[in-house]
Amino acid sequence: MALVESMGVVGIGSTEEEIHNRGSSIVGEEELEEGEITGDVSDLSKSLSTILHQPHLLEHSWTFWFNNPSAKSKQAAWGSSIRPVHTFGTVEEFWGLYNNIHHPSKLLAGADFHCFKHKIEPKWEDPICANGGKWTISFPRGKSDTSWLYTLLAMIGEQFDNGDEICGAVVNVRAKQEKIAIWTKNASNESAQLSIGRQWKEFLDYNDSIGFIVHDDAIKFDRFAKNRYTI
């Protein structure tokens, strides 16, 4: 998933040759004669240093949330044990966090790990989520790590045509399986929901059918809620 490349910047994965080519364009477009030097070399070094160390901003800031299974209680209201972990707004911050947190396969059964746009809480009651729903894909226990990463990269890298409709994503870790879901804003916007579902399957190279459940239906019917859309 070419997250950094899609944003058109020199990113974490850039090669030395790519950086050199970017640096050459700073000097100028004219072709130099052999042995000829144009411009101040120290200025070029400073420019290259700026390119390498300037943070690469994401279009939106995002917040990781964690629902600790040991903090859950049958008597507590749903979502009361969800806590924000950290908010990030650059490519560098994302990788710094991602490389230092447990991936789904290492989480305890019962854990829920969320990544939502900043200031949107991963709860049905949140005003931005209230009229939405979610696409869900299930995986055998310990098999969702790569798909979780690709889902995150597609979201924060703005790879979805209807990315404004997306609230965030969550991975639910259970004893026998793991589920990844993408939450969206407006369940009634059928064309946008279908577009998001199709693109998500393409990004993950997932061929089985997936379903979209409206939050209101999930609240009313719990596990018996039926899919509003299927692709």
Q: Is residue 4 part of a domain?
A: no
Number of domains into which the chain is organized: 1
Asked whether the predicted pLDDT for residue 74 surpasses 80, the reply is no
- Across the range 138-146, mean pLDDT stands at 97
The 3-class SS string of the chain reads CCHHHHCCCCCCCCCHHHHHHHHHHHHCCCCCCCCCCCCCHHHHHHHHHHHHHCCCEEEEEEEEEEECHHHCCCCCCCCCCEEEEEEEEEHHHHHHHHCCCCCHHHCCCCCEEEEEECCCCCCCCCCCCCCCEEEEEEEECCCCHHHHHHHHHHHHCCCCCCHHHEEEEEEEECCCEEEEEEEECCCCCHHHHHHHHHHHHHHHCCCCCCEEEEHHHHHHHHHHCCCCEEC
| Residue 163 within a domain | yes
Asked whether residue 9 is domain-assigned, the answer is: no
Summarize the confidence of residues 32-37 as an average pLDDT.
42
User: Whole-model pTM?
Assistant: 0.76
Whole domain around residue 104: which residue ranges? 57-120+130-230
Whether the predicted pLDDT of 20 surpasses 80 = no
Report the alpha-carbon distance of residue 25 to residue 34 in Å, rounded: 17
17 falls within a domain = no
Provide the pLDDT for residue 169: 98
156 located within any domain = yes
**Each residue of 169-182: pLDDT tens digit?**
999 999 999 999 99
Predicted local confidence at residue 27, as pLDDT:
34
- Quick check: is 28 in a domain? no
Nearest-angstrom CA–CA distance, 215 and 118: 20
Whether residue 92 lies inside any domain: the answer is yes
For residue 183, the cross-strand partners are 134, 168
**CATH number of residue 92's parent domain:** 3.30.760.10
Residue 97: inside a domain: yes
pLDDT at site 72: 56
Give the pLDDT of residue 221. Answer: 86
Cα atoms in the 13 Å half-sphere on the side-chain side of 126: 20
